[in-house]
Amino acid sequence: MIAQKQLRFKVSLTSEEITAHSGLAFYSEFIDRIGLKELINTYMPKPGSNRGYNAWQYIHPILLMLIGGGSHIEDLREIINDYGLRRLTGLNRIPSTSTIGDWIRRQGNHNGCECINKVIDETNKWYFETSSINELTLWSDPSIIEAEKESAKMTYKGVRGYRPVITTFKEIPIIIYHEFRNGNEHGGLLRAIEAAFEKVSEGKRIKVAVPVRSKLHVPEIGYFLITG
């Protein structure tokens, strides 16, 4: 028989706002300190009226949802209904999930992707300038994302989905280039590598790691010094 012991804490009701996602407040503070809000509102399209939501009011909850482990638009309800987290992170006015979904589709159908790429480039530029790492190993390879959407095509792994090309580095956790593609599209690896060289800061020495299965032939593979 298990001995009964008195618990050393008491449970009671409270009318105060509490949150189960308090850790997200630190991420919110970080992305605010690096100036991401200003970049978003500078490069992303402006609202159609003075009563509309600006780009940051859409992207801020999306970022918190993704950092918190969400993967679907409906997961935003965890953020919307968490009034304790909203108070901590300044989410005083937040769109509904359907409104956010409509906004994302509008950005995809217009120039939203070009605008967000400018934000990513500016953020990466700041990272490079503050990083003490001067020698980088560049890696570029497609990544399979399974999807059940009608537009998704069959991939070489036998599942329907998308096959974005992603270029990143071994030494620092940033994505320097990406290109969204359907599951049956191939190629584009050379362009992904060239784009990385265009965006890396001056004075950074990088080498390229090419996947073994790749048919890419680049005789200049080795060490490169980015100069003006």
Please indicate, yes or no, if residue 8 is contained in any of the structural domains. Answer: no
> Which among 67, 82, 112 is the end of a domain?
112
In a domain, 16, yes or no: no
189/213 Cα distance (integer angstroms): 12
- Residue at which a domain ends, from 51, 82, 112: 112
**Domain span at residue 80?**
24-112
pLDDT at residue 209, rounded to an integer: 64
Per-residue model confidence (pLDDT) at position 79:
95
Q: Residue 11 domain-assigned? A: no
Total domains present in the chain = 2
- Considering the domain architecture, whether residues 104 and 139 belong to the same structural domain is answered as no
Q: Does residue 119 fall inside a structural domain?
A: no
Which pLDDT score is estimated for 5?
A: 63
Query: Tens-of-pLDDT digits for all 228 residues of the chain?
Result: 555 666 677 777 877 788 889 999 999 999 989 899 999 999 999 987 878 899 999 999 999 999 999 988 999 999 999 999 999 999 999 999 999 999 999 998 888 889 999 999 999 888 888 888 888 888 888 888 888 888 888 888 888 999 888 888 888 888 888 888 888 887 777 888 888 888 887 778 887 765 544 444 443 433 333 333
Of 78, 107, 73, which is closest to residue 19 (Cα–Cα)? 78
Q: Phi/psi of residue 78, each to 5°?
A: -60, -35
Residues 81 and 137 in one domain: no
Contact 220, 194 (CB under 8 A): no
**What are the angstrom distances between the C-alpha of 193 and each of 151, 198, 209, 220?**
27, 9, 10, 12
Q: What's the pLDDT score for residue 67?
A: 94
Pick the closest to residue 62 from 107, 128, 127 (CA basis).
107
Which residues does 11 contact at the CB level (< 8 Å), separation at least 6?
none
Q: Which of 112, 147, 162 is the last residue of a domain?
A: 112
pLDDT for position 115 = 93
- In a domain? residue 107: yes
